[in-house]
């Protein structure tokens, strides 16, 4: 009887893990798969850029869409609500172009790691953070600081 419960509990745990991981997964889409309002917003946000792809994802229980673009060698990813509202914009920026407190904050958080890419994060038209990809000992991670270069109280 104990063996049966153990197998049942293990199976339930596996199903739960799969359900949780599937909920946060990005789903690659074609432009024609997007709702009309999202298509319109994506067109407006990608003017002058090369579109790398479209995707959808459920985040915090809400469906959202993303258009990934490249312009002048820099990435720009725009997250869009189903009604076409712009939720977030991530623009690749050069580390050297950032204000000194932001550069210093990112370097302090990266420690011995190498900063490989930096993006500004804008929500509702307001710069809320800078996010950097860091490589250290062959592993990749992400760090964030606020517009003032100080660590954030919560990730953006």
- In this structure, is residue 114 part of a structural domain? yes
Establish if 150 belongs to a structural domain.
no
pLDDT of residue 117: 97
Q: Which two tokens stand for residue 141?
A: 């991670």
Is there a domain that residue 63 lies in?
yes
Number of domains, the chain: 1
For residue 31, the Cα-to-chain-centroid distance in whole angstroms is 20
Question: For residue 94, is it within any domain?
Answer: yes
Which domain does 132 fall in, by range? 2-145
Report pTM: 0.81
| Domain presence at residue 82 | yes
Is residue 93 one of the residues assigned to a domain?
yes
Is 152 among the domain residues? no
What are the tens digits of pLDDT across the range 9-56? 444 444 333 344 444 689 999 999 999 999 999 999 999 999 999 999
Distance CA 36, CA 16 (A): 34
CATH number of the structural domain spanning residue 58: 3.10.450.360
């Amino acid at each position: 009887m104990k063996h049966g419960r153990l197998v049942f509990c293990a199976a339930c745990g596996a199903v739960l893990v799969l359900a949780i991981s599937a909920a946060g997964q990005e789903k690659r889409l074609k432009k024609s798969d997007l709702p009309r309002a999202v298509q319109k917003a994506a067109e407006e946000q990608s003017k002058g850029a090369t579109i790398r792809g479209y995707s959808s994802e459920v985040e915090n229980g809400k469906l959202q869409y993303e258009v990934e673009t490249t312009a002048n060698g820099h990435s720009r990813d725009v997250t869009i609500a189903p009604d076409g509202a712009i939720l977030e914009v991530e623009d690749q920026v050069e580390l050297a172009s950032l204000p000194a407190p932001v550069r210093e904050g990112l370097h302090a958080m990266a420690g011995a790691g190498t900063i490989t890419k930096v993006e500004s994060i804008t929500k509702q038209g307001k710069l809320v953070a800078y996010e950097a990809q860091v490589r250290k000992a062959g592993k990749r991670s992400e760090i964030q600081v606020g517009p003032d270069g100080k660590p954030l109280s919560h990730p953006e």
